[in-house]
Amino acid sequence: MRTIKNIIAVFILSLTILTVKAQEQPIHKSSFEQINLASKGLEKVKKLVDDANYDEAAKELLKYYRNRTHVRHLEYNLDEQQKFAGKKVNENTLELANNILLHQFKPHKAYPTYDYGKDINWQYRPVQDQLLTTFLHRTAFWEPLGLVYRSTADERYAKEWVFQVRDWIKKNKQGAYPDDKEYAWKAFVVSFRLNHWSGYFNMFLNSPHFTPAFLMEFLNAYQQQADYVAANYTDIGNHRLYEALHLMYAGSAFPEMKAAESWRKSGIQVLNEEIKKQVLPDGVQFELSPSYHIGSIKIFLDALQIAQLNGSAKEFPESYRHLVEKMVLAVGKYSFPDYTFPLYGNAFITNKSIMLKNYQTWAKVFPQNKVIEYYATDGKSGEKPNYLSSELPNAGFYAFRNGWKMDATVMQIKAGPPAEFHAHPDNGNFVLWVKGRDFTPDAGSFVYANVGDQENAKRDWYRSTKAHQTLTLNNQNILINKAKVSQWQPKGNLQLLSFVNPSYKDLNHQRSILFIDQKFFVIIDRAIGTATGNLAIRYHLKEDSKATVDLTNNSIKTNYTDGNNLLIQILNKDKISVKEEPSFVSYVYQKEAPRPAFAFEKPKNDSSTQGFISILYPYDGQTPPKVALTENKGNSIADGKIDLTLTINGKKVDIKQDLSN
C-alpha cells in the first residue's frame, strides 16, 4: 500500500512540476546578460550560452549553484540543510507557514495574520500603518516556509514560495503604482529583500520546483533590486547603514553576477564613511536610540563578518573596529544591571537573555576586552567597569549608580543634543531603577508612523514632552533638545549633574540632579526667562506601582507588597498644585498599559525665575520616610544659590550648591 501511495505522490509531483514549467518564461541570451560567465566554475555554462543552447545553459547554471561550496551565507547555507532534516519546528512557525500557503500573511509581529487574497493583492493595506506595508515588501514573512521545508521536505512549501516570488516580481515592477517608492521600491525596503532572498535561495535551491527558468527569473530580479539600492541610497541614518550592509550581502551571496564586486565595494565604502559620521566620539550612534544603537553595532559587525568570508576584511581599517568596540562599551553605560535600558527615541524592550547573546557575540569579536567579557558572562569572569556613575557626553546620556549588581540604584538621564529621526522632545527625562525595579519607565513610542486619526493621536502623545519626566510650559512640547552641561561630578557622597536646555521661546530649563550618599536624589528645576504660563513637572510611574498621592505633603508613593518602594515629594515652600493625569507605557509596538502619572504645577506670571525642588527617596517597607526642608539664609532658587537642609526621619543632610553658572 505504501508503495502505491509513493507512486501516486511522485506522479502528482511530476504533474505539478510539468504545470509549473508550462507557465515558465522562455530563456534567452539576455537572461544571462548579468552573469559573469568568465567566473570560475561557469565554463560549461559559458560554452552552452555561446552555442545558443540557453535552456541547457540554465540547467548547468542551476547545477553549479547546487554544488558550489565556496560561498558562505551568514545564516543559511546549502550544505547545512541536512542537519535540520526531520527536526521538528515549533508550532508557531508551522502555523505561519501553513497560513502562507493560504495567502494569509503576518508581515509584522505586532499585527495579526491578514488574508491577502487567492490572487495576492500586494497593495492590500488592512491597516493604515506604513510599517506593516513596508514589512510586507521586505518579505521576511516567507522565512517560515523555508524553515518548515528544510525540516519536512514537503514540496508544498517550496512550490508556494516559488509561486509567490514570481507573483511578487510580476505585480511589483518599478512604477507599477504611484507610491511604490514609499513601499515596495523604497531603497531601505529593497535592501532587506536582498538580504532575505539570499537566504531563501539556499533554503529552496534543491527543490524540483526551483527550476532553471525560475533561477534565471530570480537572478535577474535580484540584480535589478541590487542595482536599484546602489543607485538610491538613503541620504542619512541607520537606513543607509542597512542598505550598505545588504549590498554587501548581495555581492557576497552572488559573486557570479557582473555587478557583485561593485555592490560589495559600494557597501564597504559607505560603511567606512558612515561609521565616522554616525558614531559620536563617545561611541553612541547619532540617532540616540538605545535599540537602534545596538542594531547599528550588528550592522557594522555583520559587515566585518561578510568581508572575512570573502577575503576582503582588510578593506575595513582598524579604526573601524575600535569604534565598534567603543559602541559596545557604551551599551553598558546606558543600561541597568538586568541588561535592560531606557526606551528613549523609539527604543523597544529587551531582556537579559537577548542582551547576553549580544554580548557573547561581541566578546568573540573583541576577546581581549575584559569589560565586554564581564557583561558576556554575567559577571562570572572578566573585569567589571572601573567606574560607577558615568557619562556619554556627546550623546547626552548620563548615569548615576552605586553598583553593578541587582541590588544597585541606577538613574539614567537624557540631556543631549538634537538627534535624528527617532528623537522625542524630552531633554531632562530620566529613568530610575532600584533593586531590580524600573520605577519610572520611559513611555516608549507605541507606534512609529502614520496609522490613521486615532493612532496619530497616540503617536503624538507618546512623543510629547508631557509623556516624559521633565518640565513643560503650558503643556507644550519643548522646541529643541540642545542641553548644555555646566556641572558633572560623578564621585563622592554628593554627586551632581546640572544642565540647561533652551526648551521654549524665552524660557530655559535648568535641571540639576543630586545623588546624595549614593542612596537618594534631589532634583532642582529652574525655569529661567521672560516667558509666562503654567509650569509643570511630571512623574510617570510603573504600571503596577499602585501609586497614591498625599495632597497635604505634595507627595506620591508606590505601594509594592515586596517592600521595594519609592517616595517622590515636592519640597517647595510656595504653593504647588498636584493632579493625577492619564498616562501610558508601551514596551511593545502597538501595545500599551495605563499607569499612574502626576503633574506638579505652579504659575509663572512674570520674568522672574521659578523653580521646583523634588526628592526621590527609595525605601524599604510600606511606610515612607518623613521629609522636611529648611531653606537657609543664603538660599535663593531664583539666583541659583542653593543652601538647604533636608531632614529625613530626623537625620539632617546639608545641600549647598551654586547653580548659577
Give me the active site residues, please: 292
Contacts of 10 (CB under 8 A, 6+ apart): none
484 φ/ψ angles, rounded to the nearest 5 degrees: -120, 115
Cβ pair 282, 394 in contact under 8 A: yes
C-alpha cell at 542: 510603573
3-state SS class at 627? strand
46, 192, 229, 261, 267 from 258: Cα distances, Å: 14, 21, 16, 7, 16
Contacts of 348 (CB under 8 A, 6+ apart): 291, 444, 445, 587, 588, 589
For residue 179, the 8-state DSSP code is: T
- d(Cα 642, Cα 632) in Å, to the nearest integer? 9
Q: Which amino acid is at 99?
A: N
Cβ pair 571, 615 in contact under 8 A: yes
122, 163, 280, 379 from 156: Cα distances, Å: 21, 10, 49, 48
3-state SS class at 404? coil
The two beta strands, 430-434 and 409-414, are antiparallel
- d(Cα 363, Cα 376) in Å, to the nearest integer? 7
Where does residue 127 rank: exposed (0-12), middle (13-18), buried (19+ CB within 10 A)? middle
Write the DSSP string, 37-64: TTSTT-HHHHHHHHTT-HHHHHHHHHHH
134, 139, 223, 259, 338 from 198: Cα distances, Å: 19, 12, 12, 15, 36
For residue 595, the 8-state DSSP code is: E
Where does residue 400 rank: exposed (0-12), middle (13-18), buried (19+ CB within 10 A)? buried
- d(Cα 289, Cα 291) in Å, to the nearest integer? 5
Termini Cα distance of the chain = 91
- Report which secondary-structure segment, H or E, holds 526: strand 520-528
- d(Cα 71, Cα 62) in Å, to the nearest integer? 15
Number of other residues whose CB lies within 10 A of the CB of residue 353: 9
